[in-house]
Amino acid sequence: MSDFWADRRVTVTGGAGFLGSAVVRRLQAAGATQIFVPRSAKYDLRTRDGIARCLADGRPQVIIHLAAVVGGIGANRANPGRFFYENAIMGIELMEQARLAGVAKFVGVGTVCSYPKFTPVPFHEDDLWAGYPEETNAPYGLAKKMLLVQGQAYRDQYGFDAIHLLPVNLYGPGDNFDEASSHVIPALIKKCVDARDRGEDFIEVWGTGSASREFLFVDDAAEGIALAAELYDDPDPVNLGVGREITIRELVALTARLAGFSGEVRWDASKPDGQPRRALDTSRARDRFGFVAGTSFEEGLRRTIEWYSAKRASQR
């Protein structure tokens, strides 16, 4: 472990959130002692004033930008305008003000939703501009994708060290389990555990189960982000993932088994599946800054189920 983080002032936007908390823990383990986490109640990063106060108070040398307005398919369908505007304006203005303030490094964390709907599998970073994203989350994906363009433009014109990472779908303890905005894994875990505890004999799941997804354990994602912040200085975007996919149907079966739910699964084919397939080529992250995910999917899923079950039991 290097001493890169020991004396650096780091601002982690979204640092109190699911991924952000894991990143903060990872930086602390690496020796970081000057980590500033702006909270939205005090620093509204959708406004120039909020960003200015954030930079003045944190005085960062490194910014890891994780703050985002996010949700699953339902939330994306209900809030396309909000998801586009708030994610775009927050990132664009933050990067501009960071440049003007002399911040040494800007780590932009984008999304796999930026990829075209029909991307050859596994997704390679060179295919990022080969088509339009899947419609239900295109506004969010394109808003985050603009930060890649901005970072590359700022690198060319100003010599600004901005990098852009593309994590695949994340999961793990501490995830968002809210029914209105959760992603697929916490939504399925909640359905299975709640149905198990209530003695219900079926759960209902959106879509047909034919779509596939790749999932990255949150602590592995934090490791990749920290390594890239320390070691990567290039304009090319970089995938963060595990390089393996699972169909939603297989995911539901595995989640039900690990959660101890043995009832029926009813598929609502009137609801969208989302992007047909997602699996990343992860060779660039491995080759350029040595990142390889270390948590098996079954182990990560089991830990997430155990965390939610314990939380639910404590609330009862």
Q: Is residue 258 part of a domain?
A: no
Q: Is residue 299 part of a domain?
A: no
CATH code for the domain of 21: 3.40.50.720
Q: d(Cα 136, Cα 134) in Å, to the nearest integer? A: 6
- In tens, the pLDDT along 82-112 reads 999 999 999 999 999 999 999 999 999 999 9
What is the number of other CB atoms lying within 10 angstroms of the CB of residue 283?
Answer: 13
Q: Is residue 221 part of a domain?
A: yes
Q: Is residue 316 part of a domain?
A: no
Helices (H), 235-296: 248-259, 283-289
Backbone angles phi, psi at 40, to 5 degrees: -65, -25
Number of folded domains that form the chain: 1
Which own/partner pairs from 75-80 qualify as long-range (CB within 8 Å, at least 24 positions apart)? 75/180, 75/181, 76/136, 76/137, 76/139, 76/140, 77/136, 77/272, 80/138, 80/139, 80/140
Q: Is residue 308 part of a domain?
A: no
pTM of the shown model: 0.92
Domain of residue 106 covers 9-175+215-243+278-294
Catalytic annotation on 232?
no
With tokens 């997602």, the residue in question is 278
Q: Is residue 286 part of a domain?
A: yes
Helices (H), the chain: 18-29, 48-58, 73-78, 80-100, 138-158, 184-198, 218-231, 248-259, 283-289, 297-315
- In tens, the pLDDT along 181-230 reads 788 999 999 999 999 999 999 999 989 999 999 999 999 999 999 999 99
Q: Is residue 182 part of a domain?
A: no
Of the residues 43, 115, 140, 232, only one is catalytic, namely 140
What is the DSSP pairing of strand 162-167 with strand 246-247?
unpaired
- With residue 212 as reference, give the H or E element that holds it: strand 212-213
Q: d(Cα 66, Cα 86) in Å, to the nearest integer? A: 13
In a 3-state reduction of DSSP, which class is residue 84?
Answer: helix
Q: d(Cα 224, Cα 121) in Å, to the nearest integer? A: 21
Q: What pLDDT, on a 0 to 100 scale, did the predictor assign at position 209? A: 95
With tokens 């609502």, the residue in question is 268
Percent of the chain with pLDDT over 70: 100
Greater confidence (73 vs 296) lies with 296
Q: d(Cα 309, Cα 204) in Å, to the nearest integer? A: 19
- Average of per-residue pLDDT across 10-32: 97
Backbone angles phi, psi at 16, to 5 degrees: -95, 0
Q: Is residue 35 part of a domain?
A: yes
**Are residues 39 and 64 in contact, defined by beta-carbon separation less than 8 angstroms?**
no
Q: What pLDDT, on a 0 to 100 scale, did the predictor assign at position 1? A: 57
